Amino acid sequence: MGGVALFCLLRVEIERASGSFFLRIRGYGVRACHMKIGLAPRRLYATAAVLVLPLAALSAGACGDSTSVSSSNSSSSELRAGFPEVAEKDLAIAFSLNSSAPVRAKDTIPGGALFPESWYSAAKAAFRGTGVDGALETESLYDDWQIVSMRIAPCSALGSSPLANTDHLCWPELRIVWQPVVHDIVVHERRADSFADDRAFHALYDVPAELALNAADAARARSLFDRVKAFDATWRGGAFAPLAPAEVTEFDALRDRVVAELLQRVRGLRAPALPAVTFRGLGVRPESDDGTEAQSAFRTRVLGLLSGIARPNALKALTAFSAPEGREPATLDSWVFLSFKGNSGSLVQEDIRLISRVDGRSLVNVGKSVHATTGADDEAFRASTSPEVKDSIILAGSDIARLTPVIRDRRQRLVPNTGCASCHQLNDLRFDFHNFGYLEDRDLTIAPRVATDVQLDLAWLARP
């Protein structure tokens, strides 16, 4: 480099992970760098410092992206005819934790509040009697909840197994992640400008056919859709063929018209002045991390998109997870998961089951709540002798490396084919259970499952 010294601005954090402590060094500047150095065990919570070090001091093996965030830049620029070009940040929309214009639970669209207070109350009631008990009432009030991320899934499988012709028998879906965010708070003698509590709601919506289809075509699409769902409910292995080949072709065409309209509206979220390259790679949307005016305009555009899809009575399903009260996830080492279905704008709690990817049977019924710890899903799974359980559920820390390639890939396991906690235990920081959100005041977490899903979505959009 002709004798020119290169420097990197670094942030140093002490983290506790799985009983050990690590010094994480994150770099900002000419290239992204990080190192993790083991520390002697002692009671440390966190500390931070800013250093300026020569890049030469960082080994080549220590330079790369933050372990929390995938930074793939392989956006698909050649999508099939009829689909507008989209990139990673169009399909995985993350909001800045420090946004001055967040989309809040109480914000209204046609049909009522985006996240009605009755849903919050139902979740509070369901958590009582679990290890979480009254933590929501104490730490996370209704007014604290806001959208931290959204996923646009153009082809969400209608069946409950990867064998269910998932590239064709699928439908576009909107997924919204809600978290409680508090500001200017001191937690364990450490001040945070913005702090996301260790809990979340995940709300799922089927994109309405009427978004792009006339009444007759929408009715036809729903009829075919319902037949696939009904077949899946009784499927017990063998060929997954709820529709005749000509009907699959017809369904493909109807769905793709809805997908094209959805993607056009998603493209409309972009700030016009930003170049297309801005939306490549996974990370926080630039509009939500810009000045106040840009953030407010982005919020308005997001509410416009949600008004056509995320009305309360359109909710399909909602899952919730939470750590107990105390704001010490590594020490408490406990999380509870709940599952609800939407019913005309209300929540109905459901049992949590593991579904066989081979024949659609229920392998394990955990009950109304899943209790997990770092490196271990619910104890109820241990009683099963099914090989499928052992190959789909994380029962010990040693299972994580073995099962990560399987669980992160929907071509091998759909969500019903693994456990709630197993799907949320793939991050390098083991007590960070967030797949696409925030743990406290840390950087955005993007789990391996989310990163893989987005790349598969882009590949599906570009298929012949």
Same domain, 50 and 198: no
The pLDDT of residue 225? 98
For the chain, how many structural domains are there in total? 2
The predicted structure's pLDDT at residue 356: 98
Judge whether residue 283 has pLDDT over 50. yes
366 CB-near residues (< 8 Å, 6+ apart):
351, 352, 353, 354, 378, 380, 381, 419
Rounded CA Rg of the chain: 22
Asked if 37 and 129 sit in the same domain, the reply is: no
- Whether residue 69 is contained in a domain is answered as no
Tokens representing 62 are 């220590």
Mean pLDDT within 227-236:
98
Residue 308 has phi, psi (to 5 degrees) of -95, -5
Query: Of residues 256 and 55, which shows the higher confidence score?
Result: 256
What's the pLDDT band for 300 if we cut at 50, 70, 90?
A: very high
Residue 43 has pLDDT above 50, yes or no: no
Residue ending a domain, choose from 44, 62, 80: 62
pLDDT band at 213; cut points 50, 70, 90: very high
Distance CA(439)–CA(196), nearest Å, equals 6
Residues 131 and 39 grouped into a single domain: no
Asked whether residue 301 falls in the same domain as residue 336, the answer is: yes
Q: Say if residues 82 and 463 touch (Cβ distance below 8 Å).
A: no
The pLDDT tens digits of the residues spanning 402-460 come to: 999 999 999 999 999 999 999 999 999 999 999 999 999 999 999 999 999 999 999 99
pLDDT band at 37 (very low <50, low <70, confident <90, very high): very low
Residue 324 lies in a domain: yes
Instruction: Please indicate, yes or no, if residue 224 is contained in any of the structural domains.
Output: yes
Task: Using pLDDT thresholds of 50, 70 and 90, give the confidence band for residue 78.
Answer: low
Token pair 């997001």 is found at 302
Report whether 352 contacts 368 (CB < 8 A).
Answer: yes
Residue 29 belongs to domain spanning: 7-62
For residues 21 and 158, membership in a common domain is answered with no
Tell me, yes or no, whether 115 and 58 share the same domain: no
Instruction: Say if 390 falls within a structural domain.
Output: yes
227 and 356 in a common domain:
yes
Position 276, amino acid: A
Residue 1 maps to a domain? no
pLDDT of 53 over the 90 cut: no
pLDDT tens by residue, 154-195: 999 999 999 999 999 999 999 999 999 999 999 999 999 999
In the predicted structure, residue 14 carries a pLDDT above the cut 80: no
Supply the pLDDT for residue 26.
40
Residue 75 lies in a domain: no
Neighbour tally for 379: CB within 10 Å: 13
Co-location of 55 and 96 in the same domain = no
pLDDT of residue 205 exceeding 90, the answer is yes
pLDDT at 395: 96
- pLDDT interval class at 81 (50, 70, 90): low
C-beta separation of 341 from 355 below 8 A? no
Spatial neighbors of 436 by CB under 8 A, at least 6 apart, are: 92, 94, 148, 149, 151, 177, 444, 445, 446, 447, 450
pLDDT surpassing 60 at residue 102: yes
Separation CA 169–CA 229 (nearest Å): 10
Assess whether pLDDT exceeds 90 at residue 41. Answer: no
User: In the predicted model, is pLDDT for residue 269 greater than 50?
Assistant: yes
Same-domain check for residues 42 and 156:
no
Q: What is the DSSP letter of 374?
A: T
Same domain, 430 and 292: yes
Is residue 367 domain-shared with residue 413, that is, in the same domain? Answer: yes
- Residue 73 resides in a domain: no
Whether 23 and 155 map to the same domain: the answer is no
Backbone angles phi, psi at 202, to 5 degrees: -115, 115
Please enumerate in sequence order all residues whose Cβ is within 8 A of that of 244, keeping only pairs 6 or more positions apart, or say none: none
Give which of 461, 20, 440 is closest to 255, Cα–Cα: 461
- Inform me whether the pLDDT recorded for 107 exceeds 70: yes
Structure tokens at 106: 């109480």
Sign of dihedral through CA atoms 200, 202, 203, 207? positive
- Average pLDDT of every residue of the chain: 87
> What band does 82 get if pLDDT is binned at 50, 70 and 90?
confident
> Phi and psi dihedrals of 358, rounded to 5?
-85, -40
Inside any domain, residue 49:
yes
